[in-house]
Chains A and B, each alone.
Chain A
Amino acid sequence: MNINTFEELETVCSKTNKKIYEIAQENEAQKNDISVQEVRQVVKISLEAMKEAISAGLHSCEKSYSGMSGGDCKKLQEKFATKSSLLGVIFEKITTYALATSEENARMGKIVACPTAGSCGIVPSVLVSVAEEIQADEEEQINALITAGEIGRIISNKVQLAGAVAGCQAECGVASAMAAGALAQLRGENIDNILSAVALAMKNLLGLTCDPVCGLVEVPCIKRNPFLGIHAVTAYELASAGIKSLIPLDEIIDALEQTGQLMSPSLKESSQAGLAKTKTGIKMEKNFYSRV
């Protein structure tokens, strides 16, 4: 069964009375000619690698090759150890886990591209933090991660999830939307609310450009990850109150695609404008290239 839009997904789910992850894992199994159990096994490998990346990142303050990043996760942990977050433990966990993963990525550690390496901290930080706090078991975590994957898959049918193609809205933006959906699934929301969470998160990130300094996945990428992890929680909270996006999700994806097309190539991973070409961005670039 081919599902290409969220509307189709919703229809199939309500017709069969199944959850998003159930439909998604059945289709994935069928497409790859493997069993549902085997699909879940592959997802489990990603989930475990996400947790390993978080733990490695939490314990390291090694700098990246460029020297632009590394050490902020440690700073944040130290701060929370002496002065806890206004917003509580989940906020602390999401922000530190996201930084941990992204810094780990920049120092050539092992991470899970979800959907991309630059956005690798967003889905894991939300999923793992909340799962720890509500003591969700592994099966529930896998269900949530499959939900995230299905959301990303449907979006990627229309928009290639690459900064070079559609800007950061298609990387970190989509990751935040996936995280919002995963969180809603983890909290046992119905399909309407799950898709609302996705819509609200995605809608709010349209237009996000990709302008990395020195062309490296560090500035602004790394700090963007904790921000967009928290952003996903906001989307989930609103959605679980029954707040809907007035623009349907599939149309938001149309807008994502169009915005990506209209975005200047200079703001799509080419480092020709934006932060990369600020006075300081140019200076950092000169320093970096004189060194390598």
Chain B
Amino acid sequence: MRQSSLIDIISPVMVGPSSSHTAGAVRLGLLAKNVYDEPIEKITFKLYNSYAQTGKGHGTDKGLLAGVLGLAVDDIRIKDIFNSDIAQSIDYQFEYYNDFNRHPNAVDFIFEGQNKMQISGDSIGAGEIAIRKINEFSVKFTGKYNTLLLVYKDVTGMISKVSTIIQAENVNIASLHCDRSGKGETASMCICLDGELQKEAIDKIKEIDHLNMVRYVRKLGN
């Protein structure tokens, strides 16, 4: 049986009007930005289905942009974000789609800067979110756990090398999700952790051969 938390029931403090369409959008933006983790020059938001249809009335577009700019769900600047100074620093645009293969509240973030990255996520209800895809790889994390994301050349022993370093830190792995574009090609690993990884451990992981990308994404505050 699911064991929810009593604090979750009487929170979060958030800017309205909708936990899935406003707070969820902010959290998706925050998490996506933390995954990209580079200066953003341009960002395109693709909103799907209910996000596309009722997003305007719910401030979904404002929430997504605010999140990408690092604002928390209770930041009153969200309401007027398009006119705020911090929004002038980046180039952003919104596109709207209907696609029945996607979640009702789905969004793609296309980040452009030194690198280009596409991140897809869903707002799955009550402000809860899930990141589903990074570029061509499927992932699954929710911002509730500290998460380690790796993209690497598909070689044997990668999981054990990484998990050995995590184990040495005495941190428990809550979930592990792998994907790859083909045998021996590029692969991805998404590890949700119960605890906190120290910088030294992350540096050690970065030294492993065949890695293309390492991101340590901290869990979201609220």
Using a CB–CB cutoff of 8 Å, the interface residues on chain A facing chain B are 2, 4, 24, 27-28, 31-32, 39, 42-43, 45-46, 49, 64-66, 104-118, 120, 123, 145-146, 148-150, 152-153, 156-157, 160-162, 164-165, 178, 214-218, 271, 288, 292
Partner of B17, one of A45, A157, A217: A217
Contact indicator B78/A112 (Cβ below 8 Å): no
State whether the Cβ of B57 lies closer than 8 Å to any Cβ in chain A.
yes
Nearest chain B CB to A284's CB is how many angstroms away?
11
Q: What's the Cα separation between A31 and B23 when bound, in Å?
A: 24
Nearest chain B CB to A290's CB is how many angstroms away?
12
Nearest chain B CB to A172's CB is how many angstroms away?
14
Interface string of B1-43 (1 = CB under 8 A from A): 1111111111111111111101100000000000000000000
Q: What's the Cα separation between A4 and B12 when bound, in Å?
A: 22
State whether the Cβ of B126 lies closer than 8 Å to any Cβ in chain A.
yes
Q: What's the Cα separation between A156 and B14 when bound, in Å?
A: 20
Give every chain B residue within 8 A of A162 (Cβ-Cβ).
20, 125-126
State whether the Cβ of B59 lies closer than 8 Å to any Cβ in chain A.
yes
Give the nearest-CB partner of B54 in chain A: A215
Give the nearest-CB partner of B104 in chain A: A164
Q: What's the Cα separation between A123 and B17 when bound, in Å?
A: 17
Give every chain A residue within 8 A of B18 (Cβ-Cβ).
117-118, 217
Give every chain B residue within 8 A of A110 (Cβ-Cβ).
13-16, 74, 76
Centre residue among A106, A108, A109, A145 by max chain B CB count within 10 A: A108
Contact indicator A217/B9 (Cβ below 8 Å): no
Contact indicator B16/A104 (Cβ below 8 Å): yes
Centre residue among A31, A110, A152, A157 by max chain B CB count within 10 A: A110
Give every chain B residue within 8 A of A42 (Cβ-Cβ).
7, 11
Partner of A146, one of B6, B11, B50: B6
With A110-B74, A117-B19 given, is the CB distance from A28 to B6 under 8 Å?
Answer: yes
Q: What's the Cα separation between A215 and B59 when bound, in Å?
A: 13
Q: What's the Cα separation between A215 and B51 when bound, in Å?
A: 10
Contact indicator B59/A108 (Cβ below 8 Å): yes
Q: What's the Cα separation between A178 and B10 when bound, in Å?
A: 10
Q: What's the Cα separation between A109 and B23 when bound, in Å?
A: 12
**Which bracket fits the contact residues of B?**
35 or more
Nearest chain B CB to A160's CB is how many angstroms away?
7
Q: What's the Cα separation between A103 and B12 when bound, in Å?
A: 18
Give every chain A residue within 8 A of B121 (Cβ-Cβ).
none
Give every chain B residue within 8 A of A106 (Cβ-Cβ).
16-17
Give every chain A residue within 8 A of B6 (Cβ-Cβ).
24, 27-28, 146, 149-150, 152-153
Give every chain A residue within 8 A of B13 (Cβ-Cβ).
45-46, 49, 110-112
Q: What's the Cα separation between A114 and B13 when bound, in Å?
A: 9
Interface string of B132-144 (1 = CB under 8 A from A): 0000000000000
Partner of B57, one of A112, A160, A214: A214
Partner of A116, one of B2, B50, B126: B126
Contact indicator A292/B1 (Cβ below 8 Å): no
Contact indicator A215/B16 (Cβ below 8 Å): no
Partner of A292, one of B3, B57, B79: B57
State whether the Cβ of B118 lies closer than 8 Å to any Cβ in chain A.
no
Give every chain B residue within 8 A of A114 (Cβ-Cβ).
9-11
State whether the Cβ of B102 lies closer than 8 Å to any Cβ in chain A.
no
Give every chain A residue within 8 A of B10 (Cβ-Cβ).
43, 46, 112, 114-115, 123, 145, 148-149, 152
Give every chain B residue within 8 A of A271 (Cβ-Cβ).
54
With A4-B1, A157-B2 given, is the CB distance from A108 to B50 under 8 Å?
Answer: no
Nearest chain B CB to A2's CB is how many angstroms away?
6
Contact indicator B1/A157 (Cβ below 8 Å): yes
Q: What's the Cα separation between A217 and B125 when bound, in Å?
A: 14
Contact indicator B125/A157 (Cβ below 8 Å): no
Contact indicator B7/A149 (Cβ below 8 Å): yes
Q: What's the Cα separation between A31 and B6 when bound, in Å?
A: 10
Q: What's the Cα separation between A106 and B18 when bound, in Å?
A: 8
**Apart from A108-B16, A288-B57, what 5 extra A-B contacts exist at CB < 8 Å?**
A113-B23, A145-B10, A146-B6, A160-B125, A215-B53
Nearest chain B CB to A140's CB is how many angstroms away?
16
Sample (8) of A-B pairs whose CB atoms are under 8 Å apart = A46-B10, A46-B11, A108-B62, A152-B6, A157-B2, A162-B126, A214-B57, A216-B54
Interface string of B43-77 (1 = CB under 8 A from A): 00000001001101111001000000000001010
Contact indicator A108/B79 (Cβ below 8 Å): yes
Centre residue among B1, B19, B20 by max chain A CB count within 10 A: B19
